[in-house]
Amino acid sequence: MAAASASLVNGVLSVKVPRKGSEILSVTIEKESLPEDLPEPRGHVSIPMPGIGANDGERHLTQDNNLLLTVKGSNVYGSVHEVLKLPERAVPSEARASMVNGMFSFTIPIAAEQVTPVPVLGTVESEPMDVETNVAAPEGASKVPISPLLLLETAVPGLSASDMHAEVRGRTLTVDSNKPAAHTRRALRRSVLLPPHARAEEVRASCVNGLLKVSVSRPTPPARTPVVVSDTAPAAAMDEQPAVAQ
In total, the chain counts a number of residues equal to 246
User: What pLDDT does 37 receive?
Assistant: 78
Those residues with Cβ within 8 angstroms of residue 5's Cβ, 6 or more apart along the chain or in another chain: 15, 16, 227, 228, 230, 235, 236, 237
Tell me the domain boundaries of the chain.
23-109, 115-127+146-216
User: What pLDDT does 153 receive?
Assistant: 93
User: What pLDDT does 62 receive?
Assistant: 74
- Between CA 138 and CA 133 the distance in angstroms is 13
User: What pLDDT does 130 receive?
Assistant: 44
The DSSP bridge partners found for residue 188 are 177
- Between CA 147 and CA 150 the distance in angstroms is 9
- Between CA 190 and CA 167 the distance in angstroms is 11
Rounded to 5°, angle at Cα 167 from 216 and 215: 15
User: What pLDDT does 146 receive?
Assistant: 66
Smallest Cα–Cα separation from 189: which of 160, 164, 214? 164
User: What pLDDT does 134 receive?
Assistant: 41
* Cβ neighbour number for residue 4 with a 10 Å cutoff: 15
User: What pLDDT does 144 receive?
Assistant: 52
User: What pLDDT does 152 receive?
Assistant: 92
User: What pLDDT does 207 receive?
Assistant: 93
**Residues of the chain whose pLDDT is less than 50?**
1, 126-137, 141, 240-246
- Between CA 30 and CA 45 the distance in angstroms is 15
* Cis preceding linkage at 35, omega within 30: no
Those residues with Cβ within 8 angstroms of residue 246's Cβ, 6 or more apart along the chain or in another chain: 26
List, edge to edge, every strand of the sheet that includes 149-155: 120-121, 203-208, 211-216, 149-155
The CATH code of the domain at 23-109 is 2.60.40.790
Are domains 23-109 and 115-127+146-216 of this chain identical in fold? yes
Q: Which fold has domain 115-127+146-216?
A: Immunoglobulin-like (2.60.40)
* Amino acid making up residue 107: T
What is the maximum alpha-carbon separation in the chain? Answer: 77
Rounded to a whole number, what is the distance in angstroms from the first to the last CA of the chain?
23
Burial 8-36 (b: 16+ CB within 10 A, else e): eeeeeeeebeeeeebeebebebeeeeeee
